Amino acid sequence: MAIDTETRASRRNILVAALGGLGGLLAGRLGSPEPARATNGDPALLGTPNTSTTETSFENTDDNETSLKGNHTLAGKGVEAAVGGAGFGLYATASATGGRAVYASSLDKAGVTGLSTASSPLTHVPGENVGVLGAAGDLTNISPDVSETGVYGFCDTSAPYAAGVWGDTFQGIGVAGTGDWGVLGAGYVGDRALGTYGVVTSGTIALHTTGKLVFSGRSGHAYYVHAGHYYVDVPVSGMTSGADVIATLRTRKAGYYIAAVVSYAGKFRLYLNKTTSTGIRFNYLVLNG
């Protein structure tokens, strides 16, 4: 029986060529492996970037369980979120009453750390250079510029109980402020000090100070009773007729003393006991109005 040598040779050549091509492909993959990527409709792959052009979601329909958990056994990050443009690295909402958008706890470090790394913004706009911004209620009257603030808090819910920032502790300091100005208060009442838990009881201290007390605009000694007069008017911005005025003579002059101090809207009038032949200076302090 004759052997078809041409057919056998052709089959051998095809097999050798196929094996050679497979070897080249494997060598190429070993030399520079291509990253395995999951795309739209593919399952997520561990240990490699996964890209898509649509949203990827995880949902656990069982009550009180977790949909997606990131856990790092050693030092590192459980979950990392980043954004390349204007937007949010991490955006969380609670869609039902009683839910919390973000909950964070820590054994011995800060539960939440907020940083803004822009050190010199070209323009001040809401939210520029703010470490943490917290707001609640009606935001109509929120400050249009909260720039260069470590923590900004705003609340407009129900008067008089709404608090922008509340610092509370059972033993210690509720709010501590340090700096060129440790605490700055502005408003209809710039700062109100109460006793224990807002109730003034026997033995409680509403205000305790160490250092100088300055009553800017409400105290002074620049005014004096001119020679030939026995009284002088001292203007005080915002003063009411119900204000209390404490005054003492600053100039020593035998036989003279302050006879009375009368409060008016926007001023008080200081009376000497008699007309003076020389100018007499005095100190004053306006309180309660």
Can you give the pLDDT at residue 280? 96
- DSSP label at residue 84: S
Question: Which is more confident, 135 or 266?
Answer: 266
Count of all residues that appear for the chain in the document: 289
Mean pLDDT of 279-286: 95
Can you give the pLDDT at residue 267? 96
Lowest mean pLDDT: which of 10-19, 32-41, 243-252?
A: 10-19
pLDDT tens per residue, range 138-161: 888 888 887 778 888 888 888 877
Q: Which of 29-43, 53-67, 199-213 has the highest mean pLDDT?
A: 53-67
Tokens of 284: 């004053």
Asked if residues 45 and 36 have their Cβ atoms less than 8 Å apart, the reply is yes
Asked if residues 133 and 146 have their Cβ atoms less than 8 Å apart, the reply is yes
- The residue written with tokens 């305790």 in the block is 208
Q: How many Cβ atoms sit within 10 Å of the Cβ of residue 282?
A: 20
Can you give the pLDDT at residue 127? 59
Can you give the pLDDT at residue 12? 56
The residue extents of the domains of the chain are: 219-287
Verify cis geometry, omega within 30 degrees of 0, for the bond prior to 160.
Answer: yes
Give the residues across from 272 on adjacent strands.
Answer: 258
Angle at 129 between CA 127 and CA 132, to 5 degrees: 65
Strands 224-225 and 130-137: unpaired
Tokens of 193: 């000090």
pLDDT tens per residue, range 76-131: 888 888 888 878 888 888 888 888 888 888 887 777 777 666 655 445 565 577 77
CA distance 123 to 135: 22
CA distance 280 to 226: 7
| Phi then psi dihedrals of residue 30, to 5 deg | -70, -35
Q: How confident is the model at residue 22 (pLDDT cuts 50, 70, 90)?
A: very low
| Phi then psi dihedrals of residue 216, to 5 deg | -65, 125
Please state the pTM of the whole predicted model: 0.58
Long-range contacts of residues 213-218, Cβ cutoff 8 Å, at least 24 apart? 215/285, 215/286, 218/285, 218/286, 218/287
pLDDT tens per residue, range 231-282: 999 999 999 999 999 999 999 999 999 999 999 999 999 999 999 999 999 9
pLDDT tens per residue, range 200-235: 556 677 778 888 888 888 999 999 999 999 999 999
Q: Is the pLDDT score of 2 beyond 80?
A: no
Q: Which of 285, 117, 155, 142 is nearest to 215 (CA)?
A: 285
Tell me how far the alpha carbon of residue 270 is from its chain's centroid. 47
Q: If you compute the radius of gyration of the chain from its CA atoms, what whole number of angstroms results? A: 38
Can you give the pLDDT at residue 10? 59
Asked if residues 155 and 137 have their Cβ atoms less than 8 Å apart, the reply is yes
